[in-house]
Amino acid sequence: MRPQGKHHRPGIASNSQLTLLFELSHKSHLTAKIRLEYEDVRELPPALAVKQADVAATAAAKRRKANKPIATEEDGVSPTTMKMIEDVPAKKPGGAAGTSGSMALTLRSKPGMGPGIGSAGYGAQKGTPSSSLVRRQNLQTIRPQWHAPWKLMRVISGHLGWVRSVAVEPGNHWFCTGAGDRTIKIWDLASGNLRLTLTGHISTVRGLAVSPRHPYLFSCGEDKMVKCWDLESNRVIRHYHGHLSGVYSLALHPILDVLVTSGRDGVARVCYLAVL
């Protein structure tokens, strides 16, 4: 009769045994590969080993010399002098010890010269200085002057379309606005009341400018028109033609009687006002 329970097949290893065998096999393979590839360079050649030993000895000597005290009692220096030497503060990384920003020295290259070579500070040509030592000035931060924040005085409404342009009269008595409803409105600056509405454009008013020397108001719009308004008679006295598309901005010269307009046709036109 066969025994009851689990049966184990002879000759088949468990998972843990397979993992251990795999690790041992991989380790043996890696060891053999390293031995075959790096056996010839396992030790340095005699000449290179001697050279590296000399370099290590030189570096060790420099370290010992740097760590050696400046003076000792064997040199005949008194203990008081030794204490004074030890109390000297070490040099800071950014400059001399105990110096402020205004007394520090900085290296400044001369215009047209390259950086200095070595500690001498000379350029490519022998004897030609390429830099100089100057005192670093204290950097002062300019604090902006405080002013009261802006406050909204009023909201003015009256246009039936987008307000595309605004201009203020130089005398600060009124200002004008141009909008998508094809009108120009003049408002009182102090009270905000509507003074006048000018009509004449057949499309959106894009730009406004008030002359500081003449009672003229200039306007431009998407209807390709540039108009000059006489504010004494409240009518158009001149048209400026030439733009092939909408006119989007204009500006008056601050001194001369010159008007400059620019439009969607990619040009700027300069008009003289002496003929008015």
Show the tokens assigned to 239.
């048209």
User: Whole-angstrom Cα distance, residue 276 to residue 161?
Assistant: 32
Contact 194, 183 (CB under 8 A): no
Over residues 113-137, the pLDDT tens digits come to 444 444 444 444 444 445 556 666 6
Average pLDDT over residues 33-60: 82
Looking at residue 143, what is its pLDDT?
A: 84
Q: What ranges make up the beta strands (E) of the chain?
A: 105-109, 131-135, 163-168, 174-179, 183-188, 194-199, 205-210, 216-221, 226-230, 235-240, 247-252, 258-263, 268-272
Counting Cα atoms < 13 Å in the Cβ hemisphere of 180 gives 4
Over residues 182-233, the pLDDT tens digits come to 999 999 999 999 999 999 999 999 999 999 989 999 999 999 999 999 999 9
Strand partners, 135: 105
Looking at residue 89, what is its pLDDT?
A: 54
User: Whole-model pTM above 0.85?
Assistant: no
Q: What pLDDT band is residue 110 in, cutting at 50, 70 and 90?
A: low
Q: What are phi and psi of 15, to 5 degrees?
A: -65, -40
Give ∠ CA 256-198-178 in degrees, rounded to 5.
70
Looking at residue 170, what is its pLDDT?
A: 92
Q: Is 163 exposed, middle or buried (0-12, 13-18, 19+ CB in 10 A)?
A: middle
Looking at residue 130, what is its pLDDT?
A: 52
Q: What pLDDT band is residue 11 in, cutting at 50, 70 and 90?
A: low
Over residues 197-206, the pLDDT tens digits come to 999 999 999 9
